[in-house]
């Protein structure tokens, strides 16, 4: 059980500062979305990679966090930050409760149930016009502000979303290295054994789903304030699958790998813009390839490949 190293954090921060110096708004905007999407992806990695439970409905938590934080702020008239926390707590409770229902199931059935949950939430976002604005969505969402200072532009939002992302990574890394993390990994291998050691595997799964839901909800809330406009589109099942792809490319049980996965998918998405709606086909193929050929994630597989080639090259030289 190694302690987490400080180097990845320093490298990340250095990279982010470098990116700020480049002065490109486009890159900053892209980086902001990477930070926001990394949170639900890391949450999903805790659930899928470390605890071994699939979810195909994670976009729902993301959407509930986004819509919930905005609605709570307007309905209750509370401060937007408080509304964010409230929304995250409510989504956490909802995720925990969902766990009661779905963790009676395993494997394909669990995938189906979570998929169903994702679809139900999406339908609600579309159909409850009075609350969500239906397919037209909600416009004019106030940007983030703190002590009278507004965070509106890409550059202003940048430190906030990346701060949240780095905190998310830090908490997740601590969790998976903690004693509870051992039980999570135990559950992913064999829940029966975990039960025989005095811990309830179902309770573990519910707790991790709750944490995972909170990660997604916080990201959703940040997304709403950053973009200033919400429609059901980004919270459909397609996004759940995309999260799955990010986690798969990252190597499932590797927090930093997942961050790479998110960045990779974001870049590929940019490249695929000309394809329009057909990009989903490429993502589907990528997911299959990642799961079949890159069990430890794209990065690790590439490294292993490079190492293998180098060894071959060295052998042929000598």
d(CA 280, CA 28): 25
> Which residue in 80, 125, 207, 216 binds other proteins (CB under 8 A)?
207
The minimum distance between CB 168 and other proteins, in angstroms, equals 10
Which is it for the CA torsion 79, 85, 91, 96, positive or negative?
Answer: negative
The minimum distance between CB 186 and other proteins, in angstroms, equals 5
Tally of CB atoms within 10 A around 39: 29
The minimum distance between CB 198 and other proteins, in angstroms, equals 3
- Does 315 bind other proteins (CB under 8 A)? Our answer is no
- Does 1 bind other proteins (CB under 8 A)? Our answer is yes
For residue 99 the two structure tokens come to 């766990």
- Does 95 bind other proteins (CB under 8 A)? Our answer is no
- Does 166 bind other proteins (CB under 8 A)? Our answer is no
- Does 177 bind other proteins (CB under 8 A)? Our answer is yes
- Based on its alpha-carbon atoms, the radius of gyration of the chain, rounded to whole angstroms, reads 20
- In the chain, DSSP finds a helix count (H) and a strand count (E) of 14, 2
d(CA 186, CA 53): 12
- Does 48 bind other proteins (CB under 8 A)? Our answer is no
- Does 7 bind other proteins (CB under 8 A)? Our answer is no
- Does 197 bind other proteins (CB under 8 A)? Our answer is yes
Any idea what DSSP says for residue 137? -
Tally of CB atoms within 10 A around 100: 11
- Does 179 bind other proteins (CB under 8 A)? Our answer is yes
| Helices 201-227 + 154-177 axis angle, to 10 | 170
Q: Please say which residue, 156 or 301, places its beta carbon nearer to other proteins.
A: 301
- Does 4 bind other proteins (CB under 8 A)? Our answer is yes
The minimum distance between CB 51 and other proteins, in angstroms, equals 13
How big is the site for other proteins, counted in residues (CB under 8 A)?
30
For residue 73 the two structure tokens come to 């702020």
Interface with other proteins by CB under 8 A: which residues? 1, 3-4, 171, 173-175, 177-183, 185-186, 189-190, 192-201, 207, 211
């Amino acid at each position: 059980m190694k302690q987490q190293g400080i180097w990845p954090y320093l490298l990340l921060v250095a990279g982010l500062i470098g990116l700020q110096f480049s002065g490109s708004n486009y890159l900053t905007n892209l980086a902001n979305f990477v930070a926001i999407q990394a949170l639900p992806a890391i949450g999903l990695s805790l659930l899928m990679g470390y605890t071994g439970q699939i979810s195909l409905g994670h976009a729902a938590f993301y959407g509930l966090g986004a819509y919930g934080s905005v609605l709570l702020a307007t309905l209750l008239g509370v401060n937007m930050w408080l509304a964010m926390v409230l929304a995250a707590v409510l989504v956490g409770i909802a995720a925990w409760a969902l766990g009661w229902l779905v963790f009676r199931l395993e494997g394909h059935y669990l995938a189906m149930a979570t998929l169903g949950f994702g679809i139900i939430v999406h339908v609600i976002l579309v159909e409850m016009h009075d609350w969500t604005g239906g397919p037209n969505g909600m416009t004019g969402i106030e940007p983030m502000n703190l002590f009278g200072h507004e965070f509106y532009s890409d550059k202003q939002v940048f430190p906030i979303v990346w701060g949240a992302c780095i905190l998310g990574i830090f908490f997740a890394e601590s969790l998976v290295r903690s004693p509870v993390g051992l039980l999570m990994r135990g559950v992913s291998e064999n829940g029966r054994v975990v039960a025989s050691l005095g811990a309830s595997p179902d309770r573990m799964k519910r707790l991790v789903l709750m944490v995972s839901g909170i990660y997604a909800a916080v990201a959703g809330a940040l997304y709403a304030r950053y973009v200033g406009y919400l429609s059901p589109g980004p919270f459909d099942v397609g996004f759940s699958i995309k999260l799955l792809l990010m986690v798969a490319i990252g190597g499932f049980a590797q927090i930093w790998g997942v961050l790479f996965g998110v960045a990779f998918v974001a870049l590929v998405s940019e490249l695929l813009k000309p394809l329009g709606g057909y990009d989903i086909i490429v993502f589907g193929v990528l997911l299959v390839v990642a799961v079949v050929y890159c069990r430890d994630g794209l990065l690790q597989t590439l490294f292993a490949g490079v190492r293998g080639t180098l060894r071959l090259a060295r052998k042929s030289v000598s």
